[in-house]
Amino acid sequence: MAGSRAAIRYAKAVLALAQDQKAGETVATDMDSIVKTAANSKDLRMMLKSPIVNLEDKKAALHEIFAKVHTISEGLIDVLIANKRVDLLEDVATQYGILHDALQGKEKAVVTTAVPLTDALREKVLQKVKDLTGNQVTIENKIDESIIGGFILRVGDLQYNASIANQLNTLKRTFSQN
């Protein structure tokens, strides 16, 4: 929890600096690249969290991997190294993306279903979420067969659980209380 609060603080600082220098989109692209690179590289994630690898080696590796990023993004890496919080890099990049999208009036809705969404259903969900939030929305479909059927919709901090598994659990709790 403390790590995520720290990541949000760093992300807010980077976003403010990027907005001041009119480089918000460029830094957003860099942060997206950092998130994708870390997600696709178990070795990178392990190196960032490893107490064995010294900070100078981490710094050199990160500057090599992310050689073509904006100076603000380079500065973030340097600050995280200096503050011994480099393990937060992926979280900071993720939070930056969320904050930047919110500033642009964009939101991401995550729809968890037991089977992939059809294009028609995706459009219906997209329109409904857009009507509810008033923001430009993108939909990410996650597949989780354990929900049996129905869906779980998450937009920002809000979640609507209309899954069969949730309904069965509710019914089970009701029976066990009576």
Mean residue pLDDT across the chain: 91
Least confident of 49-63, 67-81, 152-166: 152-166
User: Per residue in 84-93, pLDDT tens?
Assistant: 999 999 999 9
In the chain, CATH 1.10.520.20 sits at 2-102
Residue 86, both tokens: 């480099």
Sign of CA dihedral 145, 173, 159, 124: positive
Q: Which of 121, 140, 104 is nearest to 15 (CA)?
A: 104
Indicate whether this model's pTM tops 0.75: no
CATH code reported for the domain at 2-102: 1.10.520.20
User: Per residue in 83-122, pLDDT tens?
Assistant: 999 999 999 999 999 899 888 888 888 999 999 999 998 9
Q: What is the mean pLDDT of residues 62-86?
A: 95
User: Per residue in 131-145, pLDDT tens?
Assistant: 888 888 888 899 999
Give the pairing type, strands 136-143 and 150-155.
unpaired
156 pLDDT higher than 80: no
Number of neighbours of residue 126 by Cβ within 10 angstroms = 16
pLDDT of 3? 59
